[in-house]
Amino acid sequence: MTKILVTGGLGFIGSHICVSLLEKNYNVIVIDSLINSDEDNLLSIKKICKFSNNFSNHITFFKGDIKDKELLINIFESSIEDNNPIDAVIHLAGLKSVKESVEQPLEYWETNVFGTMILLEAMKKYNCKKIVFSSSATIYKPIIDELITENSALGPISPYGSTKLAVENMLGDLIKSKPNEWRITNLRYFNPVGAHISGLLGENPKGRPNNLFPILLKVASGEYEKLSIFGNDWPTHDGTCIRDYIHVMDLAEAHISALDLILKSSPFFLNLNIGTGKGKSVLEVVETFKKVNRCEFKYAFNSRREGDSPYVVADNRLALSKLDWKPKRNIDDMCRDAWNWKFKSKK
Ligand code: NAD
Ligand code: UD1
Protein backbone atom coordinates (compact mmCIF):
# COMPACT_ATOMS: atom_id res chain seq x y z
CA MET A 1 0.00 0.00 0.00
CA THR A 2 1.52 3.31 -1.04
CA LYS A 3 2.31 5.39 2.03
CA ILE A 4 2.09 9.18 2.05
CA LEU A 5 3.26 11.53 4.80
CA VAL A 6 0.99 14.59 5.01
CA THR A 7 2.49 17.43 7.05
CA GLY A 8 -0.16 19.82 8.38
CA GLY A 9 -2.70 17.11 7.53
CA LEU A 10 -5.30 18.17 10.11
CA GLY A 11 -5.53 21.75 8.81
CA PHE A 12 -8.15 23.11 6.44
CA ILE A 13 -6.65 21.88 3.17
CA GLY A 14 -4.70 18.93 4.63
CA SER A 15 -7.79 17.33 6.19
CA HIS A 16 -9.62 17.38 2.84
CA ILE A 17 -6.54 15.91 1.14
CA CYS A 18 -6.47 13.10 3.72
CA VAL A 19 -10.07 12.20 2.80
CA SER A 20 -9.18 12.06 -0.91
CA LEU A 21 -6.06 9.97 -0.19
CA LEU A 22 -7.96 7.45 1.95
CA GLU A 23 -10.68 7.18 -0.68
CA LYS A 24 -7.95 6.31 -3.19
CA ASN A 25 -6.67 3.61 -0.84
CA TYR A 26 -3.43 5.30 0.19
CA ASN A 27 -1.92 4.66 3.60
CA VAL A 28 -1.68 8.06 5.29
CA ILE A 29 0.58 9.36 8.04
CA VAL A 30 -0.15 12.83 9.40
CA ILE A 31 2.15 15.07 11.38
CA ASP A 32 0.53 18.22 12.73
CA SER A 33 1.37 20.44 15.71
CA LEU A 34 -2.31 21.51 15.94
CA ILE A 35 -1.15 25.14 16.17
CA ASN A 36 -3.95 26.08 13.77
CA SER A 37 -6.20 23.02 13.82
CA ASP A 38 -7.98 20.57 16.04
CA GLU A 39 -7.69 16.83 16.62
CA ASP A 40 -11.47 16.62 16.02
CA ASN A 41 -10.60 16.79 12.33
CA LEU A 42 -9.04 13.34 12.59
CA LEU A 43 -12.36 11.93 13.81
CA SER A 44 -14.20 13.73 11.00
CA ILE A 45 -11.80 12.31 8.39
CA LYS A 46 -12.35 8.79 9.78
CA LYS A 47 -16.10 9.30 9.89
CA ILE A 48 -16.28 10.44 6.26
CA CYS A 49 -14.13 7.52 5.10
CA LYS A 50 -16.11 5.00 7.13
CA PHE A 51 -19.28 6.09 5.31
CA SER A 52 -17.69 5.81 1.90
CA ASN A 53 -15.22 2.91 1.90
CA ASN A 54 -14.23 1.71 5.34
CA PHE A 55 -10.55 2.65 4.91
CA SER A 56 -10.74 4.96 7.90
CA ASN A 57 -8.14 2.93 9.82
CA HIS A 58 -5.42 3.57 7.22
CA ILE A 59 -4.47 6.87 8.83
CA THR A 60 -1.96 7.40 11.65
CA PHE A 61 -1.60 10.73 13.43
CA PHE A 62 1.52 12.11 15.14
CA LYS A 63 1.04 15.32 17.11
CA GLY A 64 4.27 17.23 16.66
CA ASP A 65 6.30 19.85 14.93
CA ILE A 66 8.08 19.45 11.58
CA LYS A 67 11.06 21.17 13.21
CA ASP A 68 11.38 18.19 15.56
CA LYS A 69 14.11 16.16 13.84
CA GLU A 70 13.83 13.24 16.30
CA LEU A 71 10.12 12.88 15.65
CA LEU A 72 10.60 12.89 11.87
CA ILE A 73 13.37 10.29 12.17
CA ASN A 74 11.08 8.18 14.31
CA ILE A 75 8.26 8.42 11.73
CA PHE A 76 10.49 7.52 8.77
CA GLU A 77 12.30 4.72 10.66
CA SER A 78 9.18 3.08 12.05
CA SER A 79 7.71 2.99 8.53
CA ILE A 80 10.85 1.23 7.28
CA GLU A 81 10.73 -1.22 10.20
CA ASP A 82 7.12 -2.02 9.26
CA ASN A 83 8.30 -2.83 5.72
CA ASN A 84 6.13 -0.04 4.39
CA PRO A 85 8.40 3.00 3.90
CA ILE A 86 7.02 6.44 3.13
CA ASP A 87 6.80 6.82 -0.66
CA ALA A 88 6.10 10.56 -0.91
CA VAL A 89 5.32 13.66 1.12
CA ILE A 90 2.57 16.24 0.73
CA HIS A 91 3.94 19.23 2.65
CA LEU A 92 1.33 21.65 3.95
CA ALA A 93 2.54 22.38 7.49
CA GLY A 94 3.24 26.05 7.91
CA LEU A 95 1.97 29.41 9.07
CA LYS A 96 -0.24 31.27 6.60
CA SER A 97 -1.46 34.62 7.86
CA VAL A 98 -0.14 37.53 5.80
CA LYS A 99 -0.92 40.01 8.57
CA GLU A 100 0.78 37.94 11.27
CA SER A 101 3.82 37.41 9.03
CA VAL A 102 4.33 41.18 8.85
CA GLU A 103 4.24 41.38 12.66
CA GLN A 104 6.31 38.22 13.34
CA PRO A 105 8.53 37.57 10.30
CA LEU A 106 11.06 35.40 12.16
CA GLU A 107 8.38 32.93 13.27
CA TYR A 108 7.35 32.62 9.61
CA TRP A 109 10.91 32.04 8.38
CA GLU A 110 11.53 29.55 11.18
CA THR A 111 8.40 27.45 10.61
CA ASN A 112 7.99 27.71 6.86
CA VAL A 113 11.63 27.70 5.71
CA PHE A 114 13.68 26.14 8.52
CA GLY A 115 10.87 23.63 9.17
CA THR A 116 10.93 22.60 5.51
CA MET A 117 14.74 22.21 5.66
CA ILE A 118 14.42 19.78 8.56
CA LEU A 119 11.76 17.84 6.68
CA LEU A 120 13.85 17.69 3.50
CA GLU A 121 16.91 16.50 5.45
CA ALA A 122 14.86 13.64 6.90
CA MET A 123 13.44 12.80 3.47
CA LYS A 124 16.95 12.73 1.97
CA LYS A 125 18.29 10.56 4.80
CA TYR A 126 15.57 7.95 4.22
CA ASN A 127 15.72 8.21 0.45
CA CYS A 128 12.17 9.55 0.13
CA LYS A 129 12.61 12.08 -2.69
CA LYS A 130 9.11 12.83 -3.89
CA ILE A 131 7.31 15.90 -2.61
CA VAL A 132 4.23 17.97 -3.43
CA PHE A 133 4.62 21.39 -1.81
CA SER A 134 1.80 23.82 -0.89
CA SER A 135 2.89 27.03 -2.52
CA SER A 136 0.78 30.10 -3.17
CA ALA A 137 -0.26 32.65 -5.77
CA THR A 138 1.05 35.18 -3.29
CA ILE A 139 4.59 34.62 -4.64
CA TYR A 140 3.69 36.46 -7.89
CA LYS A 141 4.28 40.17 -8.41
CA PRO A 142 0.89 41.94 -8.42
CA ILE A 143 -0.41 42.52 -11.98
CA ILE A 144 -3.50 44.45 -12.94
CA ASP A 145 -5.78 42.50 -15.25
CA GLU A 146 -3.97 39.58 -16.85
CA LEU A 147 -4.23 35.90 -16.04
CA ILE A 148 -1.20 34.75 -14.06
CA THR A 149 0.90 32.04 -15.72
CA GLU A 150 3.66 30.04 -14.08
CA ASN A 151 6.11 32.30 -15.92
CA SER A 152 4.62 35.56 -14.66
CA ALA A 153 7.02 37.73 -12.68
CA LEU A 154 7.64 36.69 -9.10
CA GLY A 155 7.73 39.29 -6.32
CA PRO A 156 5.99 38.53 -3.03
CA ILE A 157 5.05 41.58 -0.99
CA SER A 158 4.73 39.96 2.45
CA PRO A 159 7.09 37.91 4.63
CA TYR A 160 4.60 35.01 4.24
CA GLY A 161 4.98 35.18 0.45
CA SER A 162 8.76 35.48 0.75
CA THR A 163 8.92 32.26 2.78
CA LYS A 164 6.86 30.40 0.16
CA LEU A 165 9.18 31.57 -2.60
CA ALA A 166 12.23 30.71 -0.49
CA VAL A 167 10.98 27.13 -0.14
CA GLU A 168 10.38 26.89 -3.91
CA ASN A 169 13.95 28.12 -4.45
CA MET A 170 15.31 25.63 -1.92
CA LEU A 171 13.48 22.80 -3.72
CA GLY A 172 14.87 24.10 -7.03
CA ASP A 173 18.42 23.97 -5.65
CA LEU A 174 17.82 20.46 -4.38
CA ILE A 175 16.78 19.13 -7.76
CA LYS A 176 19.74 20.86 -9.42
CA SER A 177 22.06 19.05 -7.00
CA LYS A 178 20.58 15.60 -7.80
CA PRO A 179 18.60 15.95 -11.04
CA ASN A 180 18.10 12.20 -11.37
CA GLU A 181 16.70 11.66 -7.93
CA TRP A 182 14.10 14.19 -6.81
CA ARG A 183 10.56 14.60 -8.08
CA ILE A 184 9.09 17.89 -6.95
CA THR A 185 5.80 19.64 -7.67
CA ASN A 186 5.01 23.09 -6.32
CA LEU A 187 1.26 23.64 -6.37
CA ARG A 188 0.58 27.36 -6.32
CA TYR A 189 -2.89 27.64 -4.83
CA PHE A 190 -5.12 30.58 -5.63
CA ASN A 191 -8.04 31.04 -3.17
CA PRO A 192 -9.13 27.72 -1.63
CA VAL A 193 -12.61 27.93 -0.04
CA GLY A 194 -15.66 25.74 0.61
CA ALA A 195 -15.86 22.56 2.64
CA HIS A 196 -16.42 18.82 2.39
CA ILE A 197 -19.94 18.10 1.19
CA SER A 198 -20.68 16.09 4.38
CA GLY A 199 -20.40 19.25 6.47
CA LEU A 200 -17.91 17.43 8.73
CA LEU A 201 -14.78 19.30 7.59
CA GLY A 202 -14.32 22.98 6.79
CA GLU A 203 -12.19 26.03 7.44
CA ASN A 204 -11.95 26.88 11.12
CA PRO A 205 -8.81 28.97 11.75
CA LYS A 206 -7.82 29.67 15.36
CA GLY A 207 -8.10 33.32 16.38
CA ARG A 208 -9.77 36.09 14.42
CA PRO A 209 -9.99 35.23 10.71
CA ASN A 210 -8.61 37.57 8.03
CA ASN A 211 -9.83 35.85 4.87
CA LEU A 212 -13.11 36.48 3.10
CA PHE A 213 -14.93 33.15 3.50
CA PRO A 214 -14.33 32.55 7.23
CA ILE A 215 -15.45 36.15 7.85
CA LEU A 216 -18.47 35.76 5.55
CA LEU A 217 -19.56 32.70 7.56
CA LYS A 218 -19.34 34.64 10.82
CA VAL A 219 -21.35 37.52 9.34
CA ALA A 220 -24.02 35.23 7.86
CA SER A 221 -24.37 33.37 11.17
CA GLY A 222 -24.79 36.64 13.07
CA GLU A 223 -21.49 36.36 14.99
CA TYR A 224 -20.24 39.51 13.29
CA GLU A 225 -22.54 42.43 12.57
CA LYS A 226 -21.51 43.09 8.99
CA LEU A 227 -18.96 42.37 6.29
CA SER A 228 -16.48 45.10 5.57
CA ILE A 229 -15.63 45.08 1.85
CA PHE A 230 -12.12 46.41 1.29
CA GLY A 231 -12.57 49.00 -1.44
CA ASN A 232 -15.19 49.67 -4.14
CA ASP A 233 -12.94 51.88 -6.25
CA TRP A 234 -10.71 49.19 -7.78
CA PRO A 235 -10.36 49.08 -11.58
CA THR A 236 -12.80 46.14 -11.93
CA HIS A 237 -16.37 45.92 -13.34
CA ASP A 238 -18.02 46.55 -9.95
CA GLY A 239 -15.13 48.23 -8.13
CA THR A 240 -14.40 45.28 -5.80
CA CYS A 241 -11.40 42.92 -6.01
CA ILE A 242 -11.48 39.82 -8.17
CA ARG A 243 -10.07 36.47 -7.02
CA ASP A 244 -9.90 32.93 -8.34
CA TYR A 245 -11.80 30.95 -5.70
CA ILE A 246 -11.32 27.19 -5.89
CA HIS A 247 -13.30 24.54 -4.01
CA VAL A 248 -11.11 22.81 -1.42
CA MET A 249 -12.17 19.36 -2.74
CA ASP A 250 -11.06 20.32 -6.26
CA LEU A 251 -7.77 21.38 -4.69
CA ALA A 252 -7.54 18.07 -2.80
CA GLU A 253 -8.15 16.18 -6.05
CA ALA A 254 -5.36 18.19 -7.73
CA HIS A 255 -3.00 16.78 -5.07
CA ILE A 256 -4.07 13.23 -5.88
CA SER A 257 -3.27 13.83 -9.55
CA ALA A 258 0.04 15.50 -8.71
CA LEU A 259 0.89 12.53 -6.53
CA ASP A 260 0.04 10.07 -9.31
CA LEU A 261 2.41 12.03 -11.52
CA ILE A 262 5.34 12.08 -9.11
CA LEU A 263 4.90 8.41 -8.25
CA LYS A 264 4.90 7.37 -11.92
CA SER A 265 7.12 9.78 -13.85
CA SER A 266 10.86 10.18 -14.02
CA PRO A 267 12.53 12.95 -11.98
CA PHE A 268 11.23 16.44 -12.60
CA PHE A 269 10.51 19.84 -11.12
CA LEU A 270 7.15 21.37 -11.86
CA ASN A 271 5.36 24.56 -10.83
CA LEU A 272 1.59 24.52 -11.34
CA ASN A 273 -1.08 27.13 -10.78
CA ILE A 274 -4.07 25.57 -9.08
CA GLY A 275 -7.13 27.71 -9.70
CA THR A 276 -10.26 27.58 -11.82
CA GLY A 277 -9.14 30.28 -14.26
CA LYS A 278 -12.33 32.21 -13.48
CA GLY A 279 -12.44 35.34 -11.36
CA LYS A 280 -15.24 36.47 -9.05
CA SER A 281 -15.50 39.88 -7.40
CA VAL A 282 -16.19 40.27 -3.68
CA LEU A 283 -19.68 41.58 -4.50
CA GLU A 284 -20.37 38.60 -6.77
CA VAL A 285 -19.34 36.23 -3.97
CA VAL A 286 -21.59 38.06 -1.51
CA GLU A 287 -24.59 37.94 -3.86
CA THR A 288 -24.00 34.26 -4.71
CA PHE A 289 -23.69 33.37 -1.03
CA LYS A 290 -26.99 35.09 -0.22
CA LYS A 291 -28.76 33.50 -3.19
CA VAL A 292 -27.68 29.87 -2.75
CA ASN A 293 -28.04 29.90 1.03
CA ARG A 294 -31.19 32.04 1.09
CA CYS A 295 -29.80 34.30 3.77
CA GLU A 296 -29.41 38.03 4.34
CA PHE A 297 -26.66 40.03 6.00
CA LYS A 298 -25.23 43.51 5.96
CA TYR A 299 -22.09 44.72 4.27
CA ALA A 300 -20.40 48.09 4.04
CA PHE A 301 -17.64 49.44 1.83
CA ASN A 302 -14.44 50.30 3.62
CA SER A 303 -11.05 51.57 2.49
CA ARG A 304 -8.71 49.34 0.51
CA ARG A 305 -6.67 46.76 2.46
CA GLU A 306 -2.92 47.26 2.27
CA GLY A 307 -1.27 44.70 0.04
CA ASP A 308 -4.43 43.80 -1.93
CA SER A 309 -4.43 43.57 -5.73
CA PRO A 310 -7.52 44.17 -7.86
CA TYR A 311 -7.24 40.99 -9.94
CA VAL A 312 -5.60 37.65 -9.07
CA VAL A 313 -6.73 34.89 -11.44
CA ALA A 314 -4.86 31.78 -12.58
CA ASP A 315 -4.02 30.72 -16.06
CA ASN A 316 -4.47 27.04 -15.14
CA ARG A 317 -3.78 25.53 -18.57
CA LEU A 318 -0.47 23.98 -17.55
CA ALA A 319 -2.10 22.17 -14.61
CA LEU A 320 -4.94 20.99 -16.88
CA SER A 321 -2.42 19.61 -19.35
CA LYS A 322 0.00 17.99 -16.87
CA LEU A 323 -2.48 16.59 -14.37
CA ASP A 324 -5.37 14.25 -14.96
CA TRP A 325 -7.53 16.89 -13.27
CA LYS A 326 -9.95 19.70 -13.77
CA PRO A 327 -11.96 21.71 -11.25
CA LYS A 328 -15.55 20.46 -11.14
CA ARG A 329 -17.22 22.67 -8.56
CA ASN A 330 -18.41 26.25 -9.09
CA ILE A 331 -18.84 29.27 -6.84
CA ASP A 332 -22.40 28.17 -5.93
CA ASP A 333 -20.98 24.88 -4.62
CA MET A 334 -18.26 26.71 -2.69
CA CYS A 335 -20.79 29.00 -0.96
CA ARG A 336 -23.28 26.20 -0.29
CA ASP A 337 -20.73 23.71 1.11
CA ALA A 338 -19.03 26.34 3.30
CA TRP A 339 -22.39 27.33 4.81
CA ASN A 340 -23.48 23.69 5.24
CA TRP A 341 -20.28 23.08 7.26
CA LYS A 342 -20.80 26.19 9.37
CA PHE A 343 -24.40 25.22 10.03
CA LYS A 344 -23.67 21.58 10.91
CA SER A 345 -20.43 22.06 12.85
CA LYS A 346 -21.69 25.08 14.81
CA LYS A 347 -18.03 26.22 14.91
P1 NAD B 1 -4.05 25.55 8.05
O2 NAD B 1 -3.43 26.49 9.02
O3 NAD B 1 -5.47 25.19 8.25
O4 NAD B 1 -3.18 24.20 7.98
C5 NAD B 1 -1.82 24.14 8.26
C6 NAD B 1 -1.61 23.04 9.28
O7 NAD B 1 -0.22 22.97 9.59
C8 NAD B 1 -2.36 23.32 10.58
O9 NAD B 1 -3.10 22.17 10.94
C10 NAD B 1 -1.26 23.61 11.58
O11 NAD B 1 -1.62 23.18 12.88
C12 NAD B 1 -0.08 22.84 11.00
N13 NAD B 1 1.22 23.36 11.36
C14 NAD B 1 1.63 24.65 11.34
N15 NAD B 1 2.92 24.73 11.70
C16 NAD B 1 3.34 23.45 11.93
C17 NAD B 1 4.57 22.88 12.30
N18 NAD B 1 5.65 23.61 12.54
N19 NAD B 1 4.65 21.54 12.43
C20 NAD B 1 3.56 20.76 12.21
N21 NAD B 1 2.37 21.25 11.84
C22 NAD B 1 2.27 22.59 11.71
O23 NAD B 1 -3.80 26.17 6.61
P24 NAD B 1 -4.36 25.68 5.20
O25 NAD B 1 -5.25 26.74 4.69
O26 NAD B 1 -4.84 24.30 5.29
O27 NAD B 1 -3.01 25.77 4.36
C28 NAD B 1 -2.17 24.64 4.18
C29 NAD B 1 -0.94 25.05 3.40
O30 NAD B 1 -1.34 25.63 2.17
C31 NAD B 1 -0.10 26.10 4.11
O32 NAD B 1 1.26 25.80 3.87
C33 NAD B 1 -0.47 27.39 3.41
O34 NAD B 1 0.57 28.33 3.43
C35 NAD B 1 -0.73 26.90 2.00
N36 NAD B 1 -1.66 27.79 1.27
C37 NAD B 1 -2.90 28.05 1.79
C38 NAD B 1 -3.74 28.92 1.11
C39 NAD B 1 -5.11 29.25 1.66
O40 NAD B 1 -5.71 30.20 1.18
N41 NAD B 1 -5.65 28.51 2.63
C42 NAD B 1 -3.33 29.50 -0.09
C43 NAD B 1 -2.07 29.20 -0.60
C44 NAD B 1 -1.24 28.32 0.10
C1 UD1 C 1 -4.93 36.53 1.16
C2 UD1 C 1 -3.50 36.98 1.19
C3 UD1 C 1 -2.69 35.99 0.35
C4 UD1 C 1 -2.85 34.57 0.91
C5 UD1 C 1 -4.34 34.22 0.96
C6 UD1 C 1 -4.59 32.89 1.64
C7 UD1 C 1 -3.48 39.40 1.50
C8 UD1 C 1 -3.23 40.71 0.85
N9 UD1 C 1 -3.40 38.33 0.68
O10 UD1 C 1 -5.34 36.50 -0.18
O11 UD1 C 1 -1.33 36.34 0.40
O12 UD1 C 1 -2.18 33.63 0.10
O13 UD1 C 1 -5.05 35.23 1.70
O14 UD1 C 1 -4.24 32.93 2.98
O15 UD1 C 1 -3.73 39.30 2.70
N16 UD1 C 1 -12.04 40.89 1.61
C17 UD1 C 1 -12.96 41.84 2.01
N18 UD1 C 1 -13.33 41.86 3.31
C19 UD1 C 1 -12.82 41.00 4.24
C20 UD1 C 1 -11.88 40.03 3.83
C21 UD1 C 1 -11.51 40.02 2.50
O22 UD1 C 1 -13.44 42.64 1.21
O23 UD1 C 1 -13.20 41.09 5.42
C24 UD1 C 1 -11.65 40.86 0.19
C25 UD1 C 1 -10.17 41.11 -0.02
O26 UD1 C 1 -9.93 42.47 -0.21
C27 UD1 C 1 -9.92 40.29 -1.29
C28 UD1 C 1 -10.94 39.15 -1.22
O29 UD1 C 1 -11.91 39.55 -0.26
O30 UD1 C 1 -10.21 41.05 -2.39
C31 UD1 C 1 -10.32 37.86 -0.80
O32 UD1 C 1 -9.59 38.09 0.39
P33 UD1 C 1 -8.83 36.93 1.19
O34 UD1 C 1 -9.77 35.83 1.44
O35 UD1 C 1 -8.16 37.57 2.36
O36 UD1 C 1 -7.78 36.40 0.13
P37 UD1 C 1 -6.63 37.16 -0.68
O38 UD1 C 1 -6.59 38.60 -0.36
O39 UD1 C 1 -6.78 36.83 -2.11
pLDDT in tens, 131-184: 999 999 999 998 877 999 999 999 999 999 999 999 999 999 999 999 899 999
Q: Please state, for a pLDDT cut of 70, what percent of the chain lies above it.
A: 99
Candidate from 13-27, 46-60, 98-112, 154-168 with smallest mean pLDDT = 46-60
Weakest mean pLDDT among 7-16, 22-31, 106-115, 200-209: 200-209
Angstrom distance (rounded) from CA 176 to CA 59: 33
- Kindly tell me if the per-residue pLDDT of 34 is higher than 70: yes
Which of 5, 41, 96 has most ligand 1 atoms within 8 Å of CB, for mutation?
96
Q: Which ligand is nearest to the CA of 230?
A: 2
pLDDT of 251 strictly over 90: yes
Q: What is the mean pLDDT of the chain?
A: 95
Rg of the chain (C-alpha set): 19
| pLDDT reported for residue 176 | 94
Q: What is the pLDDT of residue 307?
A: 86
pLDDT 10s digits, 228-237: 999 999 999 9
pLDDT for 207:
87
Ligand 2, atom 2, residue with closest C-alpha: 98
Return the pLDDT at 54.
64
Mean pLDDT, to the nearest integer, of 85-114? 96
Check if 309 has its Cβ closer than 6 Å to any atom of ligand 2: no
Per-residue pLDDT tens for 333-343? 999 999 999 99
Decide: helix, strand or coil at residue 177.
Answer: helix
CA of 57 to the centre of ligand 2 (A): 36
At residue 116 the predicted structure's pLDDT band, cuts being 50, 70 and 90, is very high
Three-state secondary-structure class, residue 345: helix
Residue 56 has pLDDT above 70, yes or no: no
* pLDDT value at residue 61: 97
88 vs 206, residue with greater confidence: 88
pLDDT at 53: 65
CA–centroid distance, 232 to ligand 1, in Å, is: 30
Spatial neighbors of 87 by CB under 8 A, at least 6 apart, are: 2, 3, 4, 128, 130, 263
Q: Is the pLDDT of residue 332 over 80?
A: yes
**From 160, 189, 245, 311, active-site residue:** 160
Q: How far apart are CA 215 and CA 220, in angstroms?
A: 9
Is 344's pLDDT higher than 90? no
Would the pLDDT of 26 be above 80? yes
Give the pocket of ligand 1 (CB within 6 Å). 7-8, 10-14, 31-37, 65-67, 92-96, 111, 115, 134, 136, 189, 191-192
Longest CA–CA span in the chain (Å) reads: 60
Q: For residue range 282-330, what is the model confidence (pLDDT) as tens digits?
A: 999 999 999 999 999 999 999 999 889 999 999 999 999 999 999 999 9
329 touches 250 (CB < 8 A):
yes
- Out of 104, 116, 119, 134, mutate this one to test ligand 1's pocket (max ligand atoms within 8 Å of CB): namely 134
* Phi and psi angles of residue 224, each rounded to the nearest 5 degrees, phi first: -110, 150
- How buried is residue 220: exposed, middle or buried, by Cβ count under 10 Å (0-12/13-18/19+)? buried
Q: Indicate which atom in ligand 2 lies nearest the CA of residue 97.
A: 14
Tell me whether residue 160 is one of the annotated catalytic residues: yes
Predicted confidence band at 267 (pLDDT cuts at 50, 70, 90)? confident
* pLDDT for position 269: 92
